Structure 1
Amino acid sequence: MNKNRTKKIVFSALMAALTAAATMVIHIPSAFSGYIHLGDGMVLLSGMLLGPVAGAAAGGIGSMMADLLSGYVFYAPATLIIKALAAFAGGYLYLHLPFKGHGGSFRPLPFLAAGIGSSIAVTGGYFLFELAVYDWPAAVSNVPFNLVQNLFSLIAAGVLLPVLLRVRELRELNRNSAS
């Protein structure tokens, strides 16, 4: 196994753990069996730092682990899929949208596009899941909570990403993910 692949696996495991921790630390229950947390910021960061595929694995697994450890076992399978899609969308948009700058530097417009894409995946994914499991009023009632959660997560990711991209290993990993 080459050195870069080992680093990517290690950082993916670290991001999964940070995603689970960020999801569990600030934990505000919402209307229907869900909760507001900052873990989506880590999901978005996972996609942007690690690339769409490794980021999807880290974000999905970390979020699912938080559900399992917090007693939201029913949501865990949906969370794995939804958060993996959110990290994939965010990572893909951030790394592939053309904008001034180069891989390894903070790029504001691709960041906002990534945040919006990730938010659409989370809000839409949970809406569809809750629509299938509960009913229309229950699914609609959680949309505002998901939007608030996405806003705070976008702010957290926006504060952390420029700082994290100053770390040489993460900057190089980000550059390699873009290619």
Structure 2
Amino acid sequence: MRDANIKKLVLAALMAALTYVATSIVQIPSPMQGYVNLGDCIVLLSGWILGPWWGAAAGGIGSMLVDLLGGYGHYAPGTLIIKGCMALVAALIVKAMKESKASYVISAVVSEVIMVVGYFGYASLLLGKGWGAAASIPGNLVQGAMGMVIGLVLLVVLKRSKALEKLA
């Protein structure tokens, strides 16, 4: 039992690091401050592979570190919660729907809606941007769409390669 926990911890740390890299390396500037990135696909994979709690920790922490180290520290608390919730919800939906093919698509869509609504709410209410925060919605929608498509493609590749069986 102890070895399984250590294995999960190490895999969660790896997924947090991959989230950081995917978010930091590919950054497409957005005209409304910030950028679009590929971190969402790894956040989704974290939930799907690690389950709700470890996935939430990996996705949330990896994404939050990007904000802390990249000059967006004021977004760090929101990012931790929003990205953690994305992975948590993705894992719970897949589990509730017994890992059907549709469950991954549905969980990705719901998770990305959480991201778009979460960042709008965080920026408008907690950062005081009001309705001006709506300007970030188009960029977040593009990021969410990219995250869903690439995350689902990566999941199919990992399943076909039997890499996920080796992790279990």
**TM-score normalised by the chain length of structure 2:** 0.91
1:38 matched to 2:63: no
RMSD, aligned α-carbons: 1.5
What is the identity, as a one-letter code, of the residue corresponding to 2:134? V
- Identity within the alignment, %: 42
- Equivalent residue number for residue 169 of structure 1: 166
Residue 136 of structure 1: CA displacement? 3.7
Residue 169 of structure 1: CA displacement? 2.5
Return 133-142 or 18-27, whichever deviates more.
Answer: 133-142
- Equivalent residue number for residue 152 of structure 1: 146
What is the identity, as a one-letter code, of the residue corresponding to 2:104? F
- Equivalent residue number for residue 126 of structure 1: 119
What is the identity, as a one-letter code, of the residue corresponding to 1:58? A
**TM-score normalised by the chain length of structure 1:** 0.86
- Equivalent residue number for residue 105 of structure 2: 112
1:139 matched to 2:136: no
Q: Secondary structure at the match of 1:33?
A: coil
- Equivalent residue number for residue 65 of structure 1: 65
- Structure 2 Cα separation of the partners of residues 158 and 85 of structure 1: 18
Greater length-normalized contact order (CA 8 Å, ≥ 6 residues apart): 1
- Structure 2 Cα separation of the partners of residues 147 and 28 of structure 1: 13
Return 61-70 or 24-33, whichever deviates more.
Answer: 24-33
Residue 31 of structure 1: CA displacement? 4.1
- Equivalent residue number for residue 54 of structure 1: 54
What is the identity, as a one-letter code, of the residue corresponding to 2:154? L
In the alignment, structure 2 segments of 5+ residues that lack a partner are: none
